[in-house]
Amino acid sequence: MPDSTASAGLPPADRPVYVIGGGPGGLATAYALRARGVRAVVLERSDRVGASWRRHYDRLRLHTTRRLSSLPGLPMPRRFGRWPARDDVVRYLEKYAEHHRLEVVTGVEVSRVERTPDGTGWLLHATGGRRLTGTAVVVATGYNHTPYVPQWPGRDTYTGEFLHASAYRNPVPYAGRDVLVVGVGNTGAEIAVDLVEGGASRVRLSVRTAPHIVRRATAGWPAQYTGVLVRRLPVGLVDRLARPVARLSVPDLSPHGLPRPDTGLYSRVAEGAIPVQDAGLIDAVRRGRVEVVAAVDGFEAGKVLLADGTRTAPDAVIAATGYRRGLEDLVGHLGVLDAAGRPLLHGGRTRPDAPGLYFTGFTNPISGMLRELSIDARRIARAVTKNAGDRVPRLTG
Ligand SMILES: Cc1cc2nc3c(=O)[nH]c(=O)nc-3n(C[C@H](O)[C@H](O)[C@H](O)COP(=O)(O)OP(=O)(O)OC[C@H]3O[C@@H](n4cnc5c(N)ncnc54)[C@H](O)[C@@H]3O)c2cc1C
C-alpha cells in the first residue's frame, strides 16, 4: 500500500478510489472499477476478505442461487452446487480478490470520512492515525454491521447464557439444553431448526410479528427467480399475487402460533423484512419441535418475560434481533443518511453535496443482496469514470 499518511498530499490526479470494506460488495466494486482501468484500493478492517462470511454459523448456505449470487467477472464454480455453503462462499471471495488482482489492504479500519478542504476529494481517517485522500469513496461496510439487541428492561438480571445470533456457530454447546431463540427472520428460523437437529432438549422461538414464509424452491423454481421477476412491479400487485401462492405452498401454521401475516409479502419487504425461506422451520413447527411463543418484553429475576404474561427460564437465550448499519460515526455528519441510519442513495447515485461518495450493500431486496451488489458495483464504476473523469489514476496493463 502507498504510505497512507503521505497519500493525503497526493495531487488530485494520483488519488485512488478508496473502497471501505472487503466483503462481496467492496470486492465487486473494486473489480468493476479495475475493469474500467480505475485504481481502487480496498480497505478492510479485519485480517482477510469476506470477514462477515467467516463469522456466519456453520450450517449456512446461500438461499440465493449460485448463478445469481456470483460477482462480476468470475462465476462461482459448478461444484459449489445450486445453494453454495458458507465455506465455499468464503473460498470464492478469497479467490475473487486474487483472480482479479485487487488491491486489498487489511487491518485498516476507517473511522471517519470527510470532504477535503479544497473540495476535490475525500479524506479518510483510519487506523493508526492514517490520513488517506481519495478521488472518490465507496462505503461497503455491510448491512449487517453491528449486532443489535433491543434495550430489554432487566436484561442484566438474567443469569442464563445470552448471546446475539452473530455469535452462534453450531448446536453443539446446546445439546440437551432448553433454548429460546428470539426473532423469526431467516437467521432466527434457521438457528431454531439447527438447535432441534443438534439435540437441544427444548427449542422455543419468540415471535413478535408472524413472518411470510416461502419455499426456497418450488418444483425446481427458486423463490429468488420470482423475486427478480416481480421486483419492479407495484407493491400492492405483488402482495395480491403472493397470497394464493403462499396458501398453496405453505401450510397453515396458525394452530402452532404462526398465523399468516395480515400485511402483504411485498409490503413487508418495503418495510425492510424479507420473507423467511423455509430451511426446515415449517416441518419443525408442525411437529412441535420448535414451539412458537410470544415476543420478549423483558427480563425479571432471572426469567424471561413474554408479551402474553408468561415467565420462562431457558438455559440460553439467542437474540436473532438483527443488525444496525453503524454508519453514523463514519458519514453521519455528511447529511447522507436517513432517520434510520441508512444511506439516502446507493449505487451510482450520489448527493449533490457529497459528490464522489458512493454506497453499496445497504438495501435488502427480494431479488437477493449479492445480485444487487453486482448491479451496484457496475453502476458505481460507471458513475466514477463519468464524474471523476481524468481525476482518477488509470491502470495500465
Ligand atoms: C446470515 C446471512 C445470510 C445471508 N445469505 C444471503 C444469501 O443467501 N444471498 C444473498 O444474496 N445475500 C445474503 N446475505 C446478505 C448479504 O449478501 C451478505 O450480508 C453480504 O456479505 C453483504 O456484503 P457486503 O460486502 O455488503 O457486507 P459484508 O460482507 O458485511 O462486508 C463488509 C466488510 O466491511 C468491513 N468493514 C466494516 N466496517 C469497516 C470499516 N469502518 N473500515 C474498514 N472495513 C470495514 C467488514 O470487516 C467486512 O469485511 C446474507 C446475510 C446474512 C447475515
pLDDT tens digits, one per residue of 251-289: 999 999 999 999 999 999 988 888 999 999 999 999 999
Cα 191 to middle of ligand 1, angstroms: 19
- What is the number of alpha carbons within 13 Å of residue 186 lying toward its C-beta? 20
pLDDT of 395: 73
Cα 368 to middle of ligand 1, angstroms: 13
pLDDT of 5: 54
Atom of ligand 1 nearest to the CA of 46: 47
pLDDT of 272: 84
Mutating to test ligand 1, I would choose from 144, 324, 346, 371 the residue with most ligand atoms within 8 A of its C-beta, which is 144
Beta carbon of 23 within 6 Å of any ligand 1 atom: yes
Residue type, 227: G
Alpha-helical (H) ranges within the chain are 24-35, 51-55, 66-69, 86-99, 186-197, 223-230, 235-249, 265-270, 281-286, 328-331, 369-388
Give Cα 175 distance to the centre of its chain: 28
Q: Give every residue of the chain whose pLDDT is below 50, as ranges.
A: 2-3
- CA pair distance 99, 129, nearest whole angstrom: 31
Q: How far is CA 276 from CA 8, 159, 185, in A?
A: 46, 31, 6
Instruction: Look up residue 161 and give its three cell numbers.
Output: 447464557
Burial class (CB in 10 A: 0-12, 13-18, 19+), 131: middle
Contacts of 156 (CB under 8 A, 6+ apart): none
Q: Please tell me the pTM assigned to this model.
A: 0.94
**Which amino acid residue places its CA nearest to atom 8 of ligand 1?**
62
pLDDT of 3: 47
Cα 119 to middle of ligand 1, angstroms: 30
Concatenated DSSP letters of 360-392: -S----TT-HHHHHHHHHHHHHHHHHHHHGGGS
Mutating to test ligand 1, I would choose from 76, 363, 369 the residue with most ligand atoms within 8 A of its C-beta, which is 369
Strands 136-139 and 357-359: parallel
Cα 71 to middle of ligand 1, angstroms: 13
Beta carbon of 16 within 6 Å of any ligand 1 atom: no
Domains and CATH numbers, the chain: 7-145+325-391 (3.50.50.60), 148-322 (3.50.50.60)
Q: How many residues does this entry show for the chain? A: 397
